[in-house]
Chain A
């Protein structure tokens, strides 16, 4: 009697849990649990035949079919380059303004985020090929072909960095620019000769170090950071645009920017 009452109370609780989950996989698991509780109820109501069928069909078969069906639709695949402040690795977790935005989009859409780090240009190719849904990590709006660019979420500026003043500059243009940002950081810390143009996120990181020896010039042509969304995922594109405008209206975007770029 008590177990039947407990199961009967559990049924609507599990049903509501399944309905209110944002993540699809959690909702499916809640539905599987609901089926299991229902099978238990049938069993206690002296209907073992129905209980066996309910647990075989409801808890096992339907759950696995749902899991297979959401296999592709249940996640957002992000490819990104590391861009300090926007999207960076801190030990074993990811942080940054863009990651915060993407997490909000994922929550609103009820999807899971998976992130792969790729070097600069390969990101857009991956999105064009359809291997990834979104490219992020300090991507500058440049009206690239074959991808959907979201409205800029943060204006950037270009900074020219030259120096140190004492060293002769004629030597610098011969050297190819450093491939990785970490090499630039190392060069600045070692006060080596540099001549390059940086975007806001990367300049912001460099400004933590002593740039006194370098000549810094803010350049013309302000642009903005953007996400590149795969053309197949226009649903996702709408989600990003919608979430961005919501964050902008509530002032959440400004607060986030100030938090990551103090």
Chain B
């Protein structure tokens, strides 16, 4: 038998173990509880958000979403950590590749950024939300990086401050989730009123969470893409 190094064997065993545990736990799982699901939808309706989906993941099941944001942060951290070992790639000062590319980037970038903001701000009223809005805007910056050169885009943002801001925003979201305890309410509950359904200022804290998550994901997306460009070379 071929010798398998320990550093590969351990994670492999862990993965197999986790898979077996997942099968064992879910073996006699009766499927989603119809009543619980109905309860969630009823609770989501009470938030005043038109988009029931975002009401569920940013109000009724907020904990899941917060943990997902944490997973995204760890992914960004992993990209930064592991690419650091690779050293920077020396690239020649990038010249805009073509007039067409530059012009289309100039025209498209504001639209993409606006789309990102719209997806984030209207997440409680229409499909979208902080996750997709942040990723859309962050990937839009990649377009600018291709057309103008990554350095030109990176110079407009202070990378170190951005990284701090990313974690500050995450802490804000966690603080917002824990804050109701100060008012004698259970954590993760909503302090803001539902407002008039359909209005921008409705749905309680959902808009606030969407904006926080949107900013966080936007920064994280750009940091990831910029680190790949720094360490692997321009596109």
Contact = CB atoms under 8 A, between A and B. Distances in A.
The finding on whether chains A and B are genuine partners in a shared complex, rather than unrelated, reads yes
Nearest to B221: A61
Given A71-B232, A72-B233, A61 B138 contact: yes
Given A57-B135, A61-B139, A68 B232 contact: yes
A64 interface: yes
Contact of A68 (B131, B136, B228): B228
A68 B235 contact: yes
Interface in B119-157: 119, 127-129, 131-132, 135-136, 138-139, 142
B92 to A, nearest CB: 13
A49 B229 CA distance: 30
A53 interface: yes
Nearest to A64: B142
Name the residue among B128, B139, B224, B229 with the largest chain A CB count within 10 angstroms. Answer: B139
Interface string B86-102: 00010000000000000
A193 to B, nearest CB: 46
B127 A65 contact: no
Interface in B57-112: 89
Interface in A212-234: none
B225 A64 contact: yes
Given A49-B51, A69-B228, A71-B233, A64 B131 contact: no
A67 interface: yes
Given A49-B53, A52-B127, A52-B128, A69 B135 contact: no
Interface string A184-204: 000000000000000000000
Contacts of B139: 56, 60-61, 64
A61 B142 CA distance: 9
Most buried by A among B119, B132, B136, B235: B132
Contacts of B233: 71-72
Determine chain A's interface SS by DSSP, over half rule. Answer: helix
A194 to B, nearest CB: 42
Nearest to B146: A64
B145 to A, nearest CB: 10
B205 interface: no
B235 A71 contact: yes
Contact of A56 (B53, B135, B228, B235): B135
Given A56-B135, A61-B139, A49 B235 contact: no
B54 interface: yes
A38 interface: no
A48 interface: yes
Interface of A: 47-49, 51-53, 56-57, 60-61, 64-65, 67-69, 71-72
Given A61-B225, A72-B89, 20 more contacts: A48-B127, A49-B51, A49-B127, A49-B129, A51-B127, A52-B132, A53-B132, A56-B131, A56-B139, A57-B132, A57-B135, A64-B225, A67-B235, A68-B225, A68-B229, A68-B235, A71-B233, A71-B234, A72-B232, A72-B233
Interface of B: 51, 53-54, 89, 119, 127-129, 131-132, 135-136, 138-139, 142, 221, 224-225, 228-229, 232-235
25 contacts: A49-B51, A49-B54, A49-B128, A49-B129, A51-B127, A52-B119, A52-B127, A52-B129, A53-B131, A56-B131, A56-B132, A56-B136, A56-B139, A57-B131, A60-B135, A60-B136, A60-B139, A61-B135, A64-B139, A65-B224, A67-B235, A69-B228, A69-B232, A71-B233, A71-B234
